[in-house]
Amino acid sequence: REKLILDVDTGIDDAIGILMAVQSEKLELIGITTACGNVSLEAATRNTCKVLDLIDAPVIPVVQGSDKPLKRQPHYEHKVHGTDGIGGALQDVVSNRKLADGDAAAFMVEQVMKSPGDITIVCTGPLTNLALAIQREPAIVNNVKEVIYMGGAINGVGNVTPVAEFNMFADPEAAAIVLEAGIPKLTQVGLDVTKKALLTEKYIGAIQHPVLHDFVKTSTATYREAFYEQNGIWACAMHDPLAVGVLIDPTLVEKASCSVAVETNSTYCDGQTVWDRQGKWGKQENVQVCMEVAADRFLELMVDVLNRA
């Protein structure tokens, strides 16, 4: 089984990613670290615990990370995820789960250095915690098995600004540290592919586990409405679950080796991921970018894993 640390800013789609990471027989979730992103750090942590309780998940260390981006003010996404971050779905639930001691960056460093070459870090929020871990112990770069992040878009089309994807936009300085760190296996699951992984009525209907069916249906309701208004389809994109899906089954995507950087100093383009398609920078490729996805196969896998609850 693939060992992973999942770094989340829980978030509707992060929540589904967590459920997959806990339930997949192919994965061994050794810890969840929380980040400030869609919602505050506290709300992201609270949502994470509530989601784990939904499936009576065993004790999995939940470790809080930074409560703000490296240099910027937080930029929450309440419009998409609701004020609580999970579309109001678990508003009345209280979790008594205890948090693990320490902070996210220290946890990443400790776990990776304890098991060199063994652990994959999957990030589905802004990259603040991973950047802090790299700053604290640069040796993790060569000891992590793989880093998979949901973020960016190399077709130049963003979802927060015309060109920037949310996770990149929320903490571009952290993203720059991660992209420039020299991580031997760094995989980008960007909007180019996640926008094709659409949760439609058909797939919601296929979730048979009553609690999870309800949770997915309720938490994604406004998210799907917004998507319908913009695209005329009743669906929403499974951004973060796809990042977990790529670890479960790498054949779901086609990747290309690319040289990618992120803009940190621009009036209009902060958070934009730039792909040097023509090798103008003369830099080595640093990212395996997911270019195509077998979307239906992924959605079937996602439903299957959710139904294991």
Q: Does 172 bind Ca ion (CB under 5 A)?
A: no
**Shortest CB 191 distance to ligand BDR, Å:** 6
CA dihedral 205, 46, 2, 142 (to 10 degrees): 140
Contact 85, 38 (CB under 8 A): yes
Q: Is 11 exposed, middle or buried (0-12, 13-18, 19+ CB in 10 A)?
A: buried
Cis preceding-peptide flag for 11 (omega within 30 of 0): yes
Q: Does 166 bind ligand BDR (CB under 6 A)?
A: yes
**Shortest CB 11 distance to ligand BDR, Å:** 4
**Shortest CB 149 distance to Ca ion, Å:** 10
C-alpha 178/C-alpha 149 separation (Å) is 10
Contact 10, 62 (CB under 8 A): no
C-alpha 85/C-alpha 309 separation (Å) is 23
Q: Can you give the C-alpha Rg of the chain in angstroms?
A: 18
Q: Given candidates 2, 7, 12, 14, which one binds Ca ion under the rule CB under 5 A? A: 14
One character per residue 48-87, x = contact with ligand BDR (rule: CB under 6 A): -----------------------------x--x-------
Q: Does 152 bind ligand BDR (CB under 6 A)?
A: no
Q: Does 38 bind ligand BDR (CB under 6 A)?
A: yes
Report, as residue numbers or ranges, the catalytic residues: 239
Q: Given candidates 48, 64, 66, 124, which one binds Ca ion under the rule CB under 5 A? A: 124
Contact 255, 291 (CB under 8 A): yes
If the CB atoms of residues 146 and 240 are measured against ligand BDR, the closer one turns out to be 240
Q: Does 13 bind ligand BDR (CB under 6 A)?
A: yes
Q: Does 69 bind Ca ion (CB under 5 A)?
A: no
* Binding footprint of Ca ion on the chain (CB under 5 A): 9, 11, 14, 124-125, 240
